[in-house]
Amino acid sequence: MKKLYDNVYEFTHPLIQHKITMLRDKNTGTNEFRAIVDELGMLMGYEALSDLELEDIEVETPIEKCKSPVIAGRKLAIVPILRAGLGLVSGILALVPTAKVGHIGLYRDEVTHEPHEYYCKLPSPIEERVILVTDPMIATGGSAIDAINLIKQRGGKKIKMIGIIGAPEGVKRLHEAHPDIEIYVGHMDRGLNENAYICPGLGDAGDRIFGTK
């Protein structure tokens, strides 16, 4: 993992880089695309959760009693930004099966590129949980900024955001709006085009995961 600047990280693991290349390929079909996003959820989630706090509990092995660490505190909250963020959830749940899952519904207006909220349901008490927000794409950053505003308005504090691909301008905007959260991207791409799509990117993540369009 490479620190790009304060609280902003880019994953460097070769498996993550390899899988992102498979996603970029326009000939990768829906089945394979969805499976790779799932695998990336697991790999990126594993990396982003490497600083979870531990506490010792007592356990009895077949040999003797000992103190041994478990994840401390409330269960993790995974919060996908609908729709595309859903694709990353099952891979993270494979790592942390006891996690709670919230949902934030946002869609980006095709003309203005501004996000519009249509749903928000979070596990309580949200203020006591580490919250992992997922969305494959951080383009203008508008959707991620609004999603995190919604989480903070409801009391969320310990927030991490993971995206497969980021645009430098959108990630910077997100960091400036929420300097306290950790932002992780699988790859920081060149930038946005006139339609606010990430270049080279992978196209429309939601459409490619769900086979719409």
Active-site residues, by number, are: 108, 112, 204, 207
What is the rounded CA–CA span in Å between residue 35 and residue 39? 6
Helical (H) or strand (E) element with 46: helix 30-48
Among 142, 156, 186, 201, binds ligand PRP (CB under 6 A): 142
Contacts of 108 (CB under 8 A, 6+ apart): 114, 115, 116, 139, 142, 143, 196
Among 63, 137, 141, 171, binds ligand URA (CB under 6 A): 137
Task: Report, in Å, the least distance between residue 48 CB and ligand URA.
Answer: 20
120 sits near ligand PRP (criterion: CB under 6 A): no
- Which residue in this structure is represented by tokens 């990117």? 201
Residue 150 contacts residue 161 (beta carbons within 8 Å): no
Which tokens hold the place of 112?
Answer: 């203005």
Among 10, 39, 128, 204, binds ligand URA (CB under 6 A): 204
**CA 46 → CA 25, 94, 162, 171, distances in Å?**
25, 10, 11, 21
Report the residue number, 83 or 187, with the smaller CB distance to ligand PRP.
83
| Site stretch for ligand PRP (CB under 6 A), options 5-13, 51-59, 79-87, 175-183 | 79-87
| Site stretch for ligand PRP (CB under 6 A), options 51-59, 60-68, 108-116, 176-184 | 108-116
Which among ligand PRP, ligand URA, none contacts residue 135 (Cβ within 5 to 8 A by kind)? Answer: ligand PRP
Binding-site string for ligand PRP from residue 122 to residue 141, where x marks contact by CB under 6 A and - marks none: -------------xxxxxxx
| Site stretch for ligand URA (CB under 6 A), options 13-21, 66-74, 156-164, 200-208 | 200-208
**CA 35 → CA 11, 28, 45, distances in Å?**
19, 11, 15
